Structure 1
C-alpha cells in the first residue's frame, strides 16, 4: 500500500470537516508528484523505443548488402526508403516531444483542474501513438506479404502452381500470421504503456473526487 492509499484511508476514517480539508491538501501534492513521475517514465520509455528502432533498422541496413538489395527491390529505390525512414522517425520524435511537453506541463502546474487536463492530454497522445504503430505494423506486414507473393520469382512460381484449395489455405495462413503479428504489437504496447496509463487514469479519478 502506498502513501496515497494510506492517506485516503485516514481521510475516510476521519469525519471531521477540517481534517478532511487538511488531508485533501496533503493528497494533491502527492498525486501531482505521482502523475509527473508516471509521465516522466513514459517519456524515457519513448526515448528507449526510438533508440531501439534506430538500431533495429540501422544495423542490418549498414552491415548487410543483401538486406539493402531486398529493400531496394521492395520499394523501388533508395529515395523511397529514405523518405519512409525519415517519416517513421519523425512521428516517433514528435511523440517524444509531446510527452516531454506533457511532463513539463504536469511538473509546473499547481491547479487540480489543469493537472487533470494534462493527464487527459497525455492519455490521448499515447492512444494516438499506439493506433499509429498498429496501423503501420499492419501496412508493413501486408506490404511485405504482397511483395513476397507477387514480386519474389521463386515464391510467385510456387503460388502459381497452387490449386484453389491450396491458395485458400495459404491466404488463411497469411491472414492468421498478420493478425498474430498485430496482436503481438498490441500486447507489447499494452504491457509497456497500458500499466502506466492505468495508474495515470487512477490519479485522474482521484483528482475528480477532490474537485467535487
Structure 2
C-alpha cells in the first residue's frame, strides 16, 4: 500500500478539523499523480504520432509498394486527404494533452485541477472515438476500392450471384467489426489503465471539496 492510500484511510477516519489539515497533505499527492498521468499520456501520444508517420511514409519509399498502389487505381487524393486529417487530429490531440498537462502543473486549486482532469478525460474519449470511426470508414472504403479496382476481386464479384455478393459483403462487415474491435482493445489497454487512475484522483479530489 503506497503513501497516498495510507493517507486517504487516515483522512477518512479523522474528525472535521483533522480532515481539513490532512487534506492539505492529500492534495499535493493527488496533484503530483494527476500531473504524472497526463504527462505520460502526452508522451504516449507523441510515440503514437511517430508510429503512424513511420507506417504511412516508410512503405512509400518502396518501389514495389508504389507500383501496387498504381495498379489498384486507388484514389490518391482521397487517401492523401484522409492521411492529412488523421495527422491534424493527432497533432491537435497532442496539443490538448500538453495544454492539460501545463494547466495541471501550474494550478494550486483543487477545483481547477478537477476541471483539468475532466477536460483530459473528454479529450481522450473524443480521440479514441474518432480513431474508431476512421478505422471503420477506412475499412469500408478500402473494401469498396478493392472490389472496384483490383482485377481479381472485381472478376470474382462479377461472376458471383446475389447470394455470393451478399456473402462477400457480410464477410467484409465481420472483418471490419473485428478490426475496429482490435483497435478499441488496443486503446483500452493503452489509455484505459491511466484513465482509471486519473478518474480515481478526480473522485478523491471531489471528496476533498465536500
Give the Cα separation in 2 of the matches to 1:137 and 1:35: 30
Give the Cα separation in 2 of the matches to 1:153 and 1:7: 67
Change (3 A) 1:202 1:55: same
**Preserved CA contact (<8 Å) 1:36 1:103:** yes
**Preserved CA contact (<8 Å) 1:71 1:81:** no
Give the Cα separation in 2 of the matches to 1:36 and 1:179: 35
How much is the aligned-residue C-alpha RMSD, in angstroms?
1.5
Q: Secondary structure of 2:58's partner?
A: helix
Structure-2 residue corresponding to 1:17: 16
Structure-1 residue corresponding to 2:54: 55
Give the Cα separation in 2 of the matches to 1:166 and 1:179: 20
Structure-1 residue corresponding to 2:4: 4
Give the Cα separation in 2 of the matches to 1:71 and 1:157: 19
- How much does 1:193 deviate? 0.7
Q: Secondary structure of 1:74's partner?
A: coil
Structure-1 residue corresponding to 2:41: 42
User: How many matched pairs?
Assistant: 208
Give the Cα separation in 2 of the matches to 1:208 and 1:22: 16
- How much does 1:162 deviate? 1.4
- How much does 1:68 deviate? 2.3
Structure-2 residue corresponding to 1:174: 172
Structure-1 residue corresponding to 2:111: 113
Out of 183, 189, 192, the residue aligned to residue 191 of structure 1 is: 189
Give the Cα separation in 2 of the matches to 1:62 and 1:69: 11
Give the Cα separation in 1 of the matches to 2:17 and 2:35: 28
Unmatched runs of 5 consecutive residues or more in structure 1: none
Structure-2 residue corresponding to 1:99: 97
Give the Cα separation in 2 of the matches to 1:163 and 1:84: 33
Give the Cα separation in 1 of the matches to 2:132 and 2:81: 20
TM normalised by structure 2 equals 0.93
TM normalised by structure 1 equals 0.92
- How much does 1:70 deviate? 4.0
- How much does 1:53 deviate? 0.5
Alignment of 1:76-87 (within 5 A): 77=76, 80-87=78-85
Matched, 1:30 2:29: yes
Q: Secondary structure of 1:110's partner?
A: coil
- How much does 1:80 deviate? 4.7
**Preserved CA contact (<8 Å) 1:149 1:155:** yes
